[in-house]
Every structure is written in structure tokens, then in C-alpha cells.
């Protein structure tokens, strides 16, 4: 190492601070090409060592125009959280500590953070207190894990030994999903060996909520997995979880809930009714990198059947030291991984129950405010019931005008939002998920949209 470590990390902290302190004034995103960034960061593979401080300076310089400012209050794309300070600082420590929570022996502290967060999250979400938890890259892998456990559980109940006999020749599983499930559910099922023809999609209402009455008709006689949703990625709507769990469990089905962001509604009394019955499900997927505002990456899978969870995920080898304590690899499809729970622990510890609730409520209030400001314009229509943090906006009842407004807002750098297509209509898609989003951010972003509608942005 050529640079003094203290100098290197202090210099890096300065660069990070400069970024964070000025991020509110930066364009949220810039129209920059991959080629430009590759040229800035590229060149031939260095033949030999470079001083570490110089490396960091060139990374900061080369990456700068390609950074999308997701944590300064004016980013409304996809469903991206910002970063709360304690989680950011814990994430730095996580890298400095370089812990691998796959096995207790590798990181007793990492295992303890996971165990503490497991308990806190069960309490926050109103899930059975003995539920197990695994810390994954994101909700994609959390959905994968929850559904994989479901597959094992329903086949075991049908007398099939999955570990010995795998899935070939197994009793056919009916997998029932809502018409508007998230795309990651399909990918998880595909990776688990379920093709499109194996998946039954139940009709949804105008907000994208699964119709529980239609679910009843979709359940077959054999093993069944039902995948419900808490928080539709477009509308923010919630499937009727209590009803779904009731119907599904009458058939002995496994219920998995994709609550990538919506599960956080459970954290506040004012929104908890949206997830009524959620604790009756068998497994849940959520993200901490969305609404808890921890740095990427961090998803969480929770399961009401720890025995099935562990049996479906575990691995063994003679060299892997088991201590009989918590081994993180038993709860995720991953082996070595980042000790993500330190940042989750720090976010939960710094916010507390009321802080998480306030964060969620504030984002929802800002989403309503965004919708209110826009809807005063007669060319604007709000397409969804703004029950959570998602707002769908259509301009002049016209796909092209709507796409043009999104493009103009993106190019302005004032805010970033994208489009979606719902029920055949293009809409601006606004997601408020950043703790830093305040009234001024909403006013600036809404004005940018309205100027784009008027054609003068
Ligand atoms: C409902 C839902 N499920 C799953 C996901 C996937 O989450 P991730 O990208 O963290 O894997 C998302 C992402 O927005 C989502 O909204």
C-alpha cells in the first residue's frame, strides 16, 4: 500500500462529504453516455500499481457525471430509497470490518446484528416473533428465497422428498399470482423451474389488487403456492392479505407476500390497515434499501416456518465450521456475502419505531402533495388512488405528451421520474421513497412537471 491509510480514508471521507453536501444542487441525472464514462474510467489495464489516493481521485473524477443523485430528495424513479446517516456510516464500517456473516465463526458480530434485526423487523411488521430472516441482495432474491421455501414446504407436506428427489417427477404445484405481480416474481419462479404455463394469474381490480374471489377459483387440489403483494409497483395498492391468507390456508397453500416497499406500511398505525392480515402469511420479501433508506444492497426474506426455511437454504461441507449458533447462509440462497445487517441495525436503532413510521408517513404525504399540485392543472390526470407513495400521472390523455414530459423533466436535472404503461395508458410514475424529500423538493419537482406540460422546461 503506497498511501498512508489514514490519509486515504480521510481524503475519501472528504470526497464523500463534498458529494453529499452539494448533492442538493447537482442535476439529479445528466444525459451522459456509457462511452463517455468508459473513456473517463477506462484505458488499458494498468501495468502496475497506482497510488491509492490517486486511484480514488480518478474514480471520483471519472464517475462524477455518471452519478444519479438518488438521496437528495428529488429522485422519484423506480422505488429507490435515499440513505439515512447512521446507515451510511454503518455501511462504511461494514466495509472496513469486511465481515462475512455466512457463518457465525466468520463474524459473530454480523450474526448478532442479523439476529437482533430479525426480531426488530418481526415486531415492526407485526409478523410472528419466531419468524426467521435472511439478508439478501434485494427483494428479487428475497422473493426467490421465500418461494423456494414454499416449494419445499408444500412438496414435503405432499410426501415428496425434495432434497432427495428434486423437482423432476414431483407432484405438480399450482402457483397462483396476482395479474399485477412484480416482474421479479416471474423471474424467481422461472429460476425455480416454473414456466409461464405453470403460473395462474388471478385478475386484479382497477388499482391492481388481486381479486380474492377469483383466487378461490384458481386453487387446485394439489400443492399450492399463492404469491400476494403488499405495494403494487405502479399504484402502491395492496392485495387483500387477510382474505387471501384465509382462502389459501383453507387449501393448505403457502402464502408468500412480496412487500418490497409496501411491507413498511406496517410500521405506522396510520397505514397499518393496508397490510391487515399480513402476519398470517408464510413468507415475506422486503427491501431495506428502499423505504428503510439503507445503502444498496439489502433485501430481507422472512419466514413463519424457520425449519422449512433453513432446510430449503442450508448447505454443508466438511471444511465449513459450524458452531450451532446462527449461520447466515442457512437463511439465504447465498454463501459469502456482505454483512448487510449492520446498516439495517443502524437505521432501525437511529430511527426507532416512530422514526421509521414518520419516514414512511412523510413520503406518503409528499406523494399526496405532488398529486395535489399536479392535479390543479387541467391537462393532468392522476390515474391511481394515492394510498401510499406512488403517483401515476397522465398528461393530456396522450401517451406521447406524457413520455415527452418525462423526458423533459429528466433532461432538466431538476428531478427524475420515469414512465410506465398501465391499462394501456402511458403515465408518469412518481415514487417518493427518500427521507430527504421535503416540501421544497416536491414544489420544485412539481413545477418542473408543470413547466414541461406547458412546453417551457
Ligand atoms: C413490489 C416489488 N417487488 C420486488 C421488487 C424488486 O426489488 P429489488 O430490485 O430490490 O430486487 C420491487 C422493486 O421495485 C418491487 O417494487
Q: What is the pLDDT of residues 62-98, one digit of tens each?
A: 999 999 999 999 999 999 999 999 999 999 999 999 9
Q: Which strand ranges, in their side-by-side order, compose the sheet holding 299-303?
A: 132-136, 299-303, 283-287, 254-258, 224-229, 174-178, 199-202
Residue 233 CA: nearest ligand 1 atom is 16
- Cα–Cα distance, 318 to 290 (Å, whole number): 38
Q: All 3 cell numbers of residue 81?
A: 430509497
pLDDT digits (tens, 9 = 90+) for 18-32: 999 999 999 999 999
Predicted pLDDT at 41? 97
Predicted pLDDT at 274? 98
Predicted pLDDT at 3? 62
Predicted pLDDT at 407? 98
DSSP 112: H
How close is the Cα of 145 to the center of ligand 1, in Å?
14
Residue 88's contacts (CB-CB under 8 Å, 6 or more residues apart) are 295, 343
Ligand 1 binding site (Cβ under 6 Å of any ligand atom) = 78-79, 138-140, 182, 184, 231, 233, 258, 260-261, 287, 299
Write 195-204 long-range contacts (CB < 8 A, 24+): 198/172, 198/173, 199/175, 200/174, 200/175, 200/176, 201/176, 201/177, 202/176, 202/177, 202/178, 203/179, 204/178, 204/179, 204/180
Phi, psi values for residue 127, rounded to 5°: -100, 160
Q: Please report which confidence band the pLDDT of residue 129 belongs to, taking 50, 70 and 90 as the band edges.
A: very high
DSSP 294: P
Average pLDDT over residues 183-210: 97
Average pLDDT over the chain, rounded to an integer: 97
How close is the Cα of 23 to the center of ligand 1, in Å?
25
- Cα–Cα distance, 98 to 150 (Å, whole number): 32
Q: Please report which confidence band the pLDDT of residue 242 belongs to, taking 50, 70 and 90 as the band edges.
A: very high
How close is the Cα of 36 to the center of ligand 1, in Å?
29
**From 233, 259, 285, 433, mutation site for ligand 1 pocket: most ligand atoms within 8 A of C-beta:** 233
pLDDT more than 90, % of the chain: 98
pLDDT digits (tens, 9 = 90+) for 265-301: 999 999 999 999 999 999 999 999 999 999 999 999 9
Q: Would the pLDDT of 2 be above 70?
A: no
Residue 141 CA: nearest ligand 1 atom is 11
Q: All 3 cell numbers of residue 80?
A: 429507490
Measured distance between the N- and C-terminal CA atoms of the chain, rounded to whole angstroms: 49
E strands along 293-365, which residues? 299-303
Average pLDDT over residues 31-48: 96
- Cα–Cα distance, 286 to 169 (Å, whole number): 32
Q: Whose CA is nearest to atom 7 of ligand 1?
A: 139
How close is the Cα of 140 to the center of ligand 1, in Å?
6
How close is the Cα of 141 to the center of ligand 1, in Å?
10
Q: Would the pLDDT of 236 be above 70?
A: yes
Q: All 3 cell numbers of residue 338?
A: 456482505
Pairing of strands 299-303, 132-136: antiparallel
DSSP state string for 361-390: HHHHHHHHHHHHHHHTSTTEEE-S--SSSE
Q: Would the pLDDT of 169 be above 70?
A: yes
Average pLDDT over residues 410-430: 97
- Cα–Cα distance, 164 to 169 (Å, whole number): 12
pLDDT digits (tens, 9 = 90+) for 321-372: 899 999 999 999 999 999 999 999 999 999 999 999 999 999 999 999 999 9
Average pLDDT over residues 151-178: 96
- Cα–Cα distance, 19 to 10 (Å, whole number): 14
Residue 219's contacts (CB-CB under 8 Å, 6 or more residues apart) are 174, 176, 226, 247, 248, 251, 253
Domain ranges across the chain: 5-69, 89-347
Pairing of strands 418-422, 425-431: antiparallel
DSSP 391: E
Dihedral angle over CA of 161, 164, 167, 168, nearest 10 = -120
Q: Would the pLDDT of 1 be above 70?
A: no
Average pLDDT over residues 213-233: 95
Q: Which CATH architecture has domain 89-347?
A: 3-Layer(aba) Sandwich (3.40)
Q: Residue 143 pairs with which residues in a beta bridge?
A: none
Under 8 Å between Cβ of 337 and 100: yes
- Cα–Cα distance, 66 to 29 (Å, whole number): 8
Q: Whose CA is nearest to atom 16 of ligand 1?
A: 233
Is the omega angle on the peptide bond into residue 211 within 30 degrees of 0, that is, cis?
no
How close is the Cα of 287 to the center of ligand 1, in Å?
7
- Cα–Cα distance, 175 to 256 (Å, whole number): 11
**From 260, 289, 299, 429, mutation site for ligand 1 pocket: most ligand atoms within 8 A of C-beta:** 260
Under 8 Å between Cβ of 26 and 66: no
Predicted pLDDT at 180? 97
Under 8 Å between Cβ of 298 and 343: yes
pLDDT digits (tens, 9 = 90+) for 362-378: 999 999 999 999 999 99
Could you give the C-alpha distances from 348 to 85, 99, 123, 328, in angstroms and in order? Answer: 12, 20, 12, 20
Q: Would the pLDDT of 40 be above 60?
A: yes
Burial class (CB within 10 angstroms; exposed 0-12, middle 13-18, buried 19+) of 2: exposed
For the chain, what percentages of helix, strand and coil (3-state, to nearest 5) are there? Answer: 50, 15, 40
Q: Would the pLDDT of 107 be above 90?
A: yes
E strands along 380-451, which residues? 380-382, 390-395, 418-422, 425-431
Predicted pLDDT at 221? 86
How close is the Cα of 262 to the center of ligand 1, in Å?
10
Amino acid at each position: 500500500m503506497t498511501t498512508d491509510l489514514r490519509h486515504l480514508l480521510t481524503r475519501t471521507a472528504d470526497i464523500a462529504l463534498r458529494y453529499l453536501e452539494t448533492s442538493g444542487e447537482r442535476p439529479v441525472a445528466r444525459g451522459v453516455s456509457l462511452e463517455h464514462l468508459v473513456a473517463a474510467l477506462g484505458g488499458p489495464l494498468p501495468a502496475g500499481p497506482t497510488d491509492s489516493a490517486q486511484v480514488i481521485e480518478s474514480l471520483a473524477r471519472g464517475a462524477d457525471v455518471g452519478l444519479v443523485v438518488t438521496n437528495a430528495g428529488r429522485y422519484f424513479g423506480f422505488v429507490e430509497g435515499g440513505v439515512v446517516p447512521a446507515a451510511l456510516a454503518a455501511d462504511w464500517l461494514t466495509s472496513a470490518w469486511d465481515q462475512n456473516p455466512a457463518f457465525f465463526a466468520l463474524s459473530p458480530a454480523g450474526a448478532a446484528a442479523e439476529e437482533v434485526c430479525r426480531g426488530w423487523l418481526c415486531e415492526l411488521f407485526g409478523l410472528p416473533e419466531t419468524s426467521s430472516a435472511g439478508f439478501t441482495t434485494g427483494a428479487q432474491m428475497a422473493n426467490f428465497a421465500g418461494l423456494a421455501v414454499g416449494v419445499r414446504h408444500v412438496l414435503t407436506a405432499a410426501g415428496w422428498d425434495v432434497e432427495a428427489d428434486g423437482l423432476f417427477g414431483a407432484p405438480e404445484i399450482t402457483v397462483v399470482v396476482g395479474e399485477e405481480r412484480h416482474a421479479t416474481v416471474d423471474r424467481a419462479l422461472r429460476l425455480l423451474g416454473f414456466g409461464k404455463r405453470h403460473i395462474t394469474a388471478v385478475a386484479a381490480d382497477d388499482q391492481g389488487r388481486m381479486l380474492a374471489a377469483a383466487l378461490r377459483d384458481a386453487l387446485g387440489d394439489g400443492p399450492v403456492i399463492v404469491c400476494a403483494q403488499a405495494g403494487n409497483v405502479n399504484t402502491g395498492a395492496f392485495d387483500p392479505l387477510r382474505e387471501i391468507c384465509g382462502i389459501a390456508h383453507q387449501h393448505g397453500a403457502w402464502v408468500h407476500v412480496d412487500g418490497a416497499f409496501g411491507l413498511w406500511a406496517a410500521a405506522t398505525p396510520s397505514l397499518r390497515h393496508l397490510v391487515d392480515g399480513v402476519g398470517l402469511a408464510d413468507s415475506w420479501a422486503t427491501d431495506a434499501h428502499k423505504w428503510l433508506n439503507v445503502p444498496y444492497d439489502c433485501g430481507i426474506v422472512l419466514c413463519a416456518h424457520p425449519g422449512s426455511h433453513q432446510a430449503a437454504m442450508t448447505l454443508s461441507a466438511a471444511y465449513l465450521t459450524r458452531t450451532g449458533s446462527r449461520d447466515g447462509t442457512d437463511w439465504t440462497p447465498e454463501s459469502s456475502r456482505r454483512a448487510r445487517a449492520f446498516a439495517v441495525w443502524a437505521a432501525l436503532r437511529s430511527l426507532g419505531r416512530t422514526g421509521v413510521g414518520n419516514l414512511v408517513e412523510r413520503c406518503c404525504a409528499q406523494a399526496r402533495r405532488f398529486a395535489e399540485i399536479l392535479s390543479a392543472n387541467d391537462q393532468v390526470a392522476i390515474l391511481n388512488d394515492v394510498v401510499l407513495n406512488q403517483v401515476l400521472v397522465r398528461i393530456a390523455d396522450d401517451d406521447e405528451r406524457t413520455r415527452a414530459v418525462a423526458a423533459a423533466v429528466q433532461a432538466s436535472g431538476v428531478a427524475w421520474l420515469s414512465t410506465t404503461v398501465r391499462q394501456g395508458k402511458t403515465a408518469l410514475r412518481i415514487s417518493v421513497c427518500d427521507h430527504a424529500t421535503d416540501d421544497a423538493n416536491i414544489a420544485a419537482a412539481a413545477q418542473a412537471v408543470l413547466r414541461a406540460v406547458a412546453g417551457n422546461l
